[in-house]
Structure formats: C-alpha cells, structure tokens
Amino acid sequence: SKITFIEHNGTRHEVEIADGHSIMEGAVANMVPGIDADCGGACACATCHIHVDPEWLERLPAKSDMETSLLEFAPSPTEGSRLACQIKVSPCLAGMTVHLPEAQH
C-alpha cells in the first residue's frame, strides 16, 4: 500500500510498503529521513515517532500501554502521535499520509 511521508520541511516521500510490514520498516527500507528506529521496532526507543492526521488516526489500531508511555518521552507529542513500528500496513491504510516531527532527539 502507498504511504506518503511528509518531512517537517515539507519534502514528500511516497513509498510503497508491503502489507504486513510496519510503517517504520517501510520508511527505513526506503531511506525516509527522520525515522531512526534505534531499537529496530521493539517499541523501546520512540525514534520512529510520526504524526498521523485525525482522519487516519481513527482507522489505526489503539495504542498499547507501552506505546502510550514511550510517546510521553518523544519530543513534541501531539494527539496524532504514534510509533511507526507499531503500525502494520494493510489495504485499509492505502493512501495514508504521515508527518515526520522536526527532530527525533
């Protein structure tokens, strides 16, 4: 499914991510800047922080307690903050746009 990443400076990256892979894996494989994924997807680093628009946010599975608590440590968390490694791509997310925060550290 196609996912569009928008950097803080407005640069867009349209990336095809296989269903079943996480948004973080797709970003790393396509070298989208701003997704560092230091922990490799273990929900332990929060360097895969993304901002999701409200219309897409409601289609995502709910956050786990671990994701919620990690996001508290992410810089500039918002209502739409999610960890990209915790979101698996599926056909119902085709066309989703996510925003990258200014900095992951």
Min CB(21)–ligand FES separation in Å: 13
Minimal CB distance residue for ligand FES: 85
Min CB(59)–ligand FES separation in Å: 19
Q: Is 29 in the site for ligand FES (CB under 6 A)?
A: no
Q: Which of 6, 15, 41, 101 binds ligand FES (CB under 6 A)?
A: 41
Min CB(63)–ligand FES separation in Å: 12
Number of neighbouring beta carbons within 10 Å of residue 40? 12
Q: Is 48 in the site for ligand FES (CB under 6 A)?
A: yes
What is the identity of the amino acid at 92? Answer: C
Distance CA 44, CA 57 (A): 21
**Integer CA distances (angstroms), 78 to 26, 54, 74, 101, in order:** 23, 11, 10, 10
Distance CA 31, CA 26 (A): 8
Q: Is 74 in the site for ligand FES (CB under 6 A)?
A: no
